[in-house]
Structure 1
Amino acid sequence: MRELVIRPFEARDEEAWRVLWRGYLDFYQAQCADEVYKASFARMLDPERPQQVGFLAESEGALLGLAHVIFHAHNWHLEEVCYLQDLYVAPEARGSGAGRALIEAVYRLADTRGAPAVYWTTQEDNRTARQLYDRIGEKTAFIKYQRPA
């Protein structure tokens, strides 16, 4: 396996990040307007918004995966908690360790910031990802609800 590097977003990554983000959205049969792409990427580069962070998995100059992270206040903790909002690895890079490495980078960042919890959600039938999540995380009994569209 080629060397895998996990690193924060850089301005030069926007075009390649868009390809990964599009793949993620396609997987979940979702769409975002172009201004959402632009704003989301800009937020993860903005030093005035340290609560939003983006990580990329890279190997030999190719971007293989992404992680979008949001730190936020929580009523059960004094410290902010860490929400791993989005995690995606390109189909050709699955099984490479990129997903695990991205989650571990999020864990390290959360530890550095003193966040007592890191959490994320996935669809129940996302079996491939859940194989990793079952090894690196703890499944909870919570069910997500949201306001109808």
Structure 2
Amino acid sequence: MTISIRPIAQSDKERWLVLWQGYLDFYKTAVPAEQTERTWTRIMDPEFNMKCAVAELDGTVVGFTTYNLQNSTWSPNGHCYLEDLFVDPEVRGSGAGRALIDYVKAFALEMKCSRLYWNTDADNEVARGLYDTYVLESGKRQYRVQLS
């Protein structure tokens, strides 16, 4: 059982779509097909500020993460935001989630970011078990104003 992490490739689209739907299902949400296609286009565009990496287990894509750089008034080099992280439920506990986070962490260090951060739901206890091995939650509350 070997886990490897690499940037997403065009040939990953079919599997990414399956994992993306699993991610949306997990959070009991939906996005229009146009938004899914827009997201795919963005992660494939090297000029757009959104990156995606996939986890492979024995040659099969089993997870993904999206992340981007953010400017900051608090630091000279900004922050790295890990926006999405999903691992196929069939292989959770394999180390794929940790490997994806570590991949993004290495990217953030390479870019000299002062912070890597992400959000999760308070009741996402399985993921929080992993996240708490990196750092305890910040105690911040997130407020959302829906604009469209």
Name 2:127's counterpart in structure 1: 129
Q: Is the 8 A contact 1:64 1:90 kept in 2?
A: yes
Q: Residue 23 of structure 1 aligns to a residue in which SS?
A: helix
Q: How does 1:1-149 map to 2 (within 5 A)?
A: 2-49=1-48, 51-148=49-146
AA aligned opposite 1:10 = A
TM-score, normalised relative to structure 2: 0.95
TM-score, normalised relative to structure 1: 0.94
Deviation of 1:125 after TM superposition, in Å, equals 0.5
Q: Residue 135 of structure 1 aligns to a residue in which SS?
A: coil
AA aligned opposite 1:106 = V
AA aligned opposite 1:145 = Y
AA aligned opposite 2:92 = R
AA aligned opposite 1:37 = T
In 2, Cα distance between equivalents of 1:99 and 1:136: 12
Deviation of 1:30 after TM superposition, in Å, equals 1.0
Deviation of 1:66 after TM superposition, in Å, equals 0.7
Segment drifting more, 22-31 vs 134-143: 134-143
AA aligned opposite 1:78 = P
In 1, Cα distance between equivalents of 2:88 and 2:99: 14
AA aligned opposite 1:46 = D
Deviation of 1:108 after TM superposition, in Å, equals 0.1
Q: Residue 84 of structure 1 aligns to a residue in which SS?
A: strand
Structure 1, residues 21-71: CA drift from partner, whole Å, max 9, x if none? 11011011111111111111121121212x211010012221111101011
Deviation of 1:80 after TM superposition, in Å, equals 2.5
> Once the two structures are aligned, what percentage of the paired residues are identical?
38
AA aligned opposite 2:110 = T
In 2, Cα distance between equivalents of 1:137 and 1:68: 20
In 2, Cα distance between equivalents of 1:103 and 1:137: 12
